[in-house]
Amino acid sequence: MQQVYLSRIAGHVGKSVTIKGWLQNRRAGGKVQFLLVRDGTGEIQVVVSAADVGQDVVEMVDHLGQESSIVVTGEVKEDKRAPGGYEMTAASIEVVQNAEGYPITPKEHKSPFLLDHRHLWLRSSRQRAILKIRAEVIRALRDFFDSRDFTLLDAPILSGAACEGTTTLFETDYFGNKAYLTQSGQLYQEAGIGAFGKVYCFGPTFRAEKSKTRRHLMEFWMLEPEVAYADLDDIMVLAEDMVASVVARVLETRQKELAVLERDTAMLEKVTTPFPRITYSEAVEHLRTGGLDIEWGKDFGGDEETILAKRFDKPVMVTRYPSALKAFYMSRDPEDEKLALCVDMLAPEGYGEIVGGSQRETSLEELEQRIAEHGLPKDAFQWYLDLRRYGSVPHSGYGIGLERTVSWICGIRHLREAIPFPRLMNRLYP
């Protein structure tokens, strides 16, 4: 009999079908066993009764461990009370493998234990909900840029040039030379605009962040658009449209997963454009009024970001940070050379920076000087400087951190659950 996926079960009511999956849970009731079977696309309750399959099959089922892989054939019924809304009456059951002693039981486990078993933890309903939303966020992001005439331009993972400073580089040997795992695809996107006008890349990026915060991963995914002839204001509009459209998509298609996560969706419904905008200097004033002793010129940490974001119920865009805090490639504000033409978007509810971007410096001389000031190797940047020699245009772009965005949308505390296999300072397993 042909396999039916549970996501399509509604079309098979009254028919006999075969499903292939895993035993998630089991409950016995006299001569009947109730199995909760998951096939990855959905879940269904399977009724195994002696009257249909014989007493020995019911007894065999009674010895099946959680996560045993099974193939069930039987008739599908609609049942409003059953999880998923459908029920199957088993006519036959084939055990592919009986799993004994599955380590993750429905009781509470501590997070080091769960992280050690991440390869199995992925199967739990919460983790599946988060990763389904992650997949939807990726699809929504790509749809957003693809439908606006952006061209996808993949950036290399191995690079000779540091984009975001030299302190967080993962270095590797490259046939006797040094290579780094990329911190950002931005510089390559800046090359791409000369060919395609509007480009984006989306891929893993790496930061050897020597900090164990819940907002930092060593390996995270970033989507980075870059737009020729765009200024800071243009990309701020692009960024708010993007975030609003991603949140709207998740609300539209992932209500079930948001419910599993018990996410307060009223908070997400508020994420409509325009988003509030404040400058770094206004932010410092606000923090001081709130009693925080912060000097102008100091970078914001998690605490500052949380306090600032609390003022708003939408993401807030903080612009014009002191240029001394920011990367070498950012334009200076012509009205105040101490400031960078940059933006950080802070998510509400204390999730911190989800987007970072800027208008890019166009002056060749200025860039040469900054590369020297930042202690970056001049030779590795010659190709980048060529972009200012041949058809240089004003341009701007940003990066959105996928795991920060997913954590916020899901309402989960720690970034490590927003990626299938997190790379943390003390974790490379599994």
In the complex, the residues that contact ligand 4AD under the rule CB under 6 A are: 163-164, 184, 186, 207, 209, 216-217, 220, 222, 224, 353-357, 397-399, 401, 403-404, 415
SS3 291: coil
User: Nearest to residue 79, comparing CAs of 37, 52, 45, 41?
Assistant: 45
CA separation for the pair 380, 162 (Å, rounded) = 9
Pick from 356, 357, 397, 401: which binds Mg ion (CB under 5 A)?
356
Task: Cis check for the bond before 348: say yes or no (omega within 30 of 0).
Answer: no
Q: Which is nearer to ligand 4AD, 209 or 313 (CB)?
A: 209
Q: Identify whether the C-beta of residue 73 lies closer than 8 Å to the C-beta of residue 57.
A: no
Q: Which is nearer to ligand 4AD, 61 or 238 (CB)?
A: 238
Q: Minimal distance in Å, beta carbon 62 to ligand 4AD? A: 46
Q: Which is nearer to ligand 4AD, 45 or 189 (CB)?
A: 189
User: Nearest to residue 405, comparing CAs of 208, 207, 264, 221?
Assistant: 221
Q: Which is nearer to ligand 4AD, 82 or 340 (CB)?
A: 340
Name the CA dihedral angle for 163, 164, 169, 174, rounded to a multiple of 10 degrees. Answer: 0
Q: Identify whether the C-beta of residue 88 lies closer than 8 Å to the C-beta of residue 46.
A: yes
Parallel, antiparallel, or unpaired for β 219-228 and 277-279? Answer: unpaired
- 42: partner contacted, choices ligand 4AD, Mg ion, none (Cβ within 5-8 A by kind): none
Q: Minimal distance in Å, beta carbon 185 to ligand 4AD? A: 7
- 320: partner contacted, choices Mg ion, ligand 4AD, none (Cβ within 5-8 A by kind): none
- 217: partner contacted, choices Mg ion, ligand 4AD, none (Cβ within 5-8 A by kind): ligand 4AD
Q: Which is nearer to ligand 4AD, 9 or 217 (CB)?
A: 217
Helix (H) or strand (E) holding 75: strand 69-78
Token couple for 286: 């606000």
Using CB under 5 A as the binding rule, the residues of this chain from 133 to 172 that contact Mg ion are none
Q: Which is nearer to Mg ion, 192 or 356 (CB)?
A: 356
Token pair 């099959």 is at which residue? 57
Q: Minimal distance in Å, beta carbon 353 to Mg ion? A: 5
Chain centroid to CA 126: 15
- 220: partner contacted, choices Mg ion, ligand 4AD, none (Cβ within 5-8 A by kind): ligand 4AD
Residues at the interface with Mg ion (CB under 5 A): 356
